[in-house]
Amino acid sequence: MICKVDYLLKLLVRDVADYDRVYKKLIKAVPLSNVSASFAMQRIKYETAVPV
C-alpha cells in the first residue's frame, strides 16, 4: 500500500544556512521521500490569515 500525503510548510528563516539547519532537523525526524523548496527574496504582501 502506498500512502501519499502532501504538506506545505511556510517558514521564515534568517538566511539559507538557517533554512538548511531546519531542513536537516526535519529530515532526521520524519521519513520523507520527496522534498521541494521555493524561496522568496523579499516580502511583497503580508497577511497572517491562511485561506482554508
pLDDT surpassing 80 at residue 11: yes
Predicted confidence at residue 2, as pLDDT, reads 67
Question: At which residue does the C-alpha cell 523548496 appear?
Answer: 37
> Are 26 and 37 spatial neighbours (Cβ–Cβ below 8 Å)?
no
How does pLDDT run across 21-38, given as a tens digit for each residue?
Answer: 998 998 889 887 778 888
pTM assigned to the model: 0.59
pLDDT surpassing 90 at residue 18: yes
Which three cell numbers, joined as nine digits, stand for 11?
Answer: 517558514
Query: What are the backbone angles phi and psi of residue 41, rounded to the nearest 5°?
Result: -90, -20
